Structure 1
Amino acid sequence: MSSSPVMVDGTNERTVQAPDVSVVIPVYGCRNCLEELVDRVGSALLPAAGSYEIILVDDNSPDNSWARIKELAERQPAVRGLRLSRNFGQHAAISAGLKFAAGQRMVVMDCDLQDVPEEIPNLLAALQGDVEVVLGQRIDRQDTWFKRTGSMLFYRTLGWLTDTRYDHTTANFGAYSRKVIDALNDMPETDRFLPLLVRWTGFKTVKVAVSHGLRTEGKSSYSLGKLLQMAGRIALSFSDKPLRLVMTAALMIAAVAAGFAVFSVYRYSAGDVRVAGFTSIIASIWLVGSIIMGCIGVLGLYLGRVHGETKRRPRYLVWQDTREQE
């Protein structure tokens, strides 16, 4: 973090004071809607914030979004662009934006205009008193049936694996206090998932109903398979439930095996067993062997996550910053 952010007080005048609101937007595959996005965010913030900054984080978007971000940053002092060295993922891009943001209040939103910029004042208005987190609740989602179903399955799977309840109508779109963002920036883990990290802080959270826009640019990079894979990865990073499931399965199998052993001894004592069954022995060996390999696999996954964390590699690498090019 080199240069201090540029703030705007409803004009193009540069000041040195920290902004009232920082809006962090990860960018991937939405080059053509960035100008409209910035204009609408700025128009929404003018009456709701004394000063603001808009941080666009290019997560190595394949459509050359960085060129458009640089143009916007040159024309509008409120815009700051960060370009990551490669595609680190949406939540790593959000983490980069939050690390560079200087606002006393933060707004996180997607770049595809489905998070409606005009709802930002409503989120900020609810961020008062002892409320530290305000989440936008998408009551009427303008997504395809397949995407809504995939999102619901993702959050239900994640909730089951982490023993928590998630509302699939909420996502990243929300307003956060400086206290929450400082807590998130202090968290050292490399595997990031904003909703779960925010939930872990325990700060008071409210939900505000927001409208949801149609996606007019690009398409979601999250397929159902990727969502379920991400749920499993997040569960390994944030919960020990898979280990507990393995232990429960092992205990259940041990109980069944003990019962079968007692029954076999009883039949042998009664003279009902004369020749041991080859098929049952082979089946038992394969069953127990498969379970053992499964347990080792789960332990290996956890060991892999631990190995990744011990490397202490950065969560992201910022390649270019429009402020450094001024």
Structure 2
Amino acid sequence: MPEHPRTLQSSTLGTSGVAPVSLSVVSPVYGCKGCLEELVDRIASAVAPLGGTFEVILVDDCSPDGAWSRITELAESRPWLRGLRLSRNFGQHYAIAAGIEGSRGNVVVVMDCDLQDSPEDIPALVAGLVDTDVVFGQRTERQDSASKRFFSWAFFRLLSWLTGVPQDHTTANFGAYSRKVIDVINDMPERDRCFPLMVKWTGFSTSYLPVSHATRKEGSSGYSFSKLLRLATEIVLSYSDKPLRLVVKVGLGFAAIAFGMVAWTLFRFIQGDTQVAGFTSIIASIWLVGGVIISCLGILGLYLGRLFIDAKRRPYYLVSEQTPEEHRAN
């Protein structure tokens, strides 16, 4: 596994003074209490042949099924297992941030907890880091509903257009990342976090490895339509300024139309045609222009709102509990 000379810095999770391990596996936990034992044991079996020391970090994003009690129970008999519990439900990408900021591995693997990502693919992902800094798991055959696959494809196509950066809907969080990449992401100060987009933004060398994708072992996705819409809005506002540039273009377009209408009116006046415009067309124009203005102001307001939130400089997650120190791998 690649070694990086940078010394690990003390994090907010109290890892100062603890020697790094070879591999960290980080998984945010929400609504999957029943499959956690299978998850951690399959991870341990998969990474054992790699040699070296490893740790598994489960981050309880205030799971409604009482997953924290199960995490602490599992950690008592597995010294390589660490658990963090967030004070409330911050969201998947914030739970990932908590996990990677507390990780000590020279290589960090991020995966979901529902076992749709296969732990048996971890060795191949880690092996791919020999020649690159990032290896994304590429889900060529997703075991999701047709509607979820379609919305995922449509969202990433829209995001590619808005950001100008190609996005692949077959990749998500699952992948292996060198310590260099993780350190850079941990140093990013922005409050809005989207882990795979932050990784891609760094521009470090990246490769893709086809991985298996299974059906969800337990429960259902915590992303409702409203949550997905909110997440999409936050990502667009945080990683693209194209909506603002579109507002400018729309304004210029309407200005051009207005100048054209003025020129046409003057031409008709010169020709002696002084016909008064109809009431319906005037009202329609007022409503159209008014709607565009309000929409543009709304987009500007959303961006200002994000700036207001960032200006508060509040932490983007809070850890309320973690498993005892003596359960950590040395």
TM-score (norm 2): 0.92
1:279 to partner: Cα distance: 2.7
**3-state SS of paired residue (1:181):** helix
**3-state SS of paired residue (2:136):** strand
* 2:287 corresponding residue in structure 1: 286
Q: Is 1:95 matched with 2:97?
A: yes
Q: Is the 8 A contact 2:13 2:102 kept in 1?
A: no
RMSD: 1.7
Question: Partners of 2:228 and 2:161 in 1: how far apart?
Answer: 14
* 1:307 corresponding residue in structure 2: 308
CA gap of 1:270–1:41, structure 2 versus 1, over 3 A, is same
* 1:12 corresponding residue in structure 2: none
Q: Percent identity at matched positions?
A: 59
**1:39-93 Cα deviation digits (max 9, x unpaired):** 0000001012411000000000000000000001111000000000000000000
**3-state SS of paired residue (1:104):** strand
| 1:97-112 equivalent positions in 2, closer than 5 A | 97-112=99-114
1:181 to partner: Cα distance: 0.3
Q: Is 1:320 matched with 2:321?
A: yes
Question: Partners of 1:5 and 1:77 in 2: how far apart?
Answer: 18
Q: Is 1:170 matched with 2:148?
A: no
Question: Partners of 2:147 and 2:282 in 1: how far apart?
Answer: 45
Deviates more, 1:289-298 or 1:21-30: 289-298
Residue type matched to 1:38 in 2? V
* 2:273 corresponding residue in structure 1: 272
Question: Partners of 2:324 and 2:160 in 1: how far apart?
Answer: 40
**3-state SS of paired residue (1:111):** coil
CA gap of 1:325–1:304, structure 2 versus 1, over 3 A, is farther
Q: Specify every segment of 5 or more residues in structure 1 that has no aligned partner in the other structure, as ranges.
A: 7-15
CA gap of 1:218–1:286, structure 2 versus 1, over 3 A, is same
Q: Is the 8 A contact 1:2 1:324 kept in 2?
A: no
**3-state SS of paired residue (1:22):** strand
* 1:261 corresponding residue in structure 2: 262
| 1:1-326 equivalent positions in 2, closer than 5 A | 1=12, 3-4=14-15, 17-129=19-131, 131-324=132-325
CA gap of 1:158–1:227, structure 2 versus 1, over 3 A, is farther
Residue type matched to 2:300 in 1? L
Question: Partners of 1:49 and 1:124 in 2: how far apart?
Answer: 12
CA gap of 1:49–1:92, structure 2 versus 1, over 3 A, is farther
Q: Specify every segment of 5 or more residues in structure 2 that has no aligned partner in the other structure, as ranges.
A: 1-11
Question: Partners of 2:236 and 2:326 in 1: how far apart?
Answer: 40
**3-state SS of paired residue (2:176):** strand
Q: Is the 8 A contact 1:20 1:51 kept in 2?
A: yes
Q: Count the aligned residue pairs.
A: 316
Residue type matched to 2:50 in 1? A
Residue type matched to 2:105 in 1? G
CA gap of 1:193–1:163, structure 2 versus 1, over 3 A, is same
1:294 to partner: Cα distance: 1.2
1:232 to partner: Cα distance: 2.1
1:286 to partner: Cα distance: 2.0
**1:170-205 Cα deviation digits (max 9, x unpaired):** 000000000000000000111000111001101000
**1:193-247 Cα deviation digits (max 9, x unpaired):** 0111001101000000111111120111223443343222211111110001111
